[in-house]
Structure 1
Amino acid sequence: MAANSIEAEGAWQKALRSAGTGSCVELRPLDDGTVAMRNSRFPEGPALVFTRPEIDALLDGAKKGEFDHLAA
């Protein structure tokens, strides 16, 4: 999916904790049920697009602490 077609779909959302730091991962739901993810430092750069089951697995793993070793 081209970045410009993603731009037409709506607003990006980022975690409140990242506000003002410039180090943000932003997400937005797309009309087809997928979810786009991008680095806010590069808003014109590429976005990764994930299926709903992929996002559900990511969020479940994050809630269970499976990625805590990646946090600074």
Structure 2
Amino acid sequence: MEAELSGAVWRKASLSSDNGGDCVEVAVVDAPAAPGAGHKAGLGSLYVLRDSKNPDGPKLFFTRSEWDAFVGGVKLGEFDG
């Protein structure tokens, strides 16, 4: 199933080099071609999140509205410890 994401363009935060390059990466993919998209397949483009240290590991899939809510929460500090 990983083959369907082989053409994905993964982006990493520019600040990731400050922590040794360990970071999450995000790609925008077409939902029908995204393995693991499950019930979100067919909902348009999906944002896929993965761990840069384990690119073949589990991935999280977000619809556009879910991604916008997540990014908004990060910007507002909702996930700060």
- Report the TM-score when normalising by structure 2: 0.71
In structure 2, the partner of 1:56 is 68
How far is 1:46 from its partner? 2.4
Contact 1:14–1:25 (8 Å) recurs in 2: yes
What's the counterpart of residue 4 of structure 1?
3
Describe the SS at the equivalent of 2:56: coil
The size of the alignment, in residue pairs, is 67
Identity of aligned residues (%): 40
Q: Which runs of 5+ in 2 are unaligned?
A: 31-43
**For structure 1, which segment, 27-36 or 15-24, has the greater mean C-alpha deviation from structure 2 after superposition?**
15-24
TM value normalised by structure 1: 0.79
Unaligned runs of 5+ in 1: none
Deviation (angstroms), 1:19: 2.3
Query: Of the candidates 40, 47, 54, which is equivalent to residue 42 of structure 1?
Result: 54
**Aligned Cα root-mean-square deviation (Å):** 1.6
- Which consecutive aligned stretches of 4+ in structure 1 deviate over 6 angstroms post-superposition? none
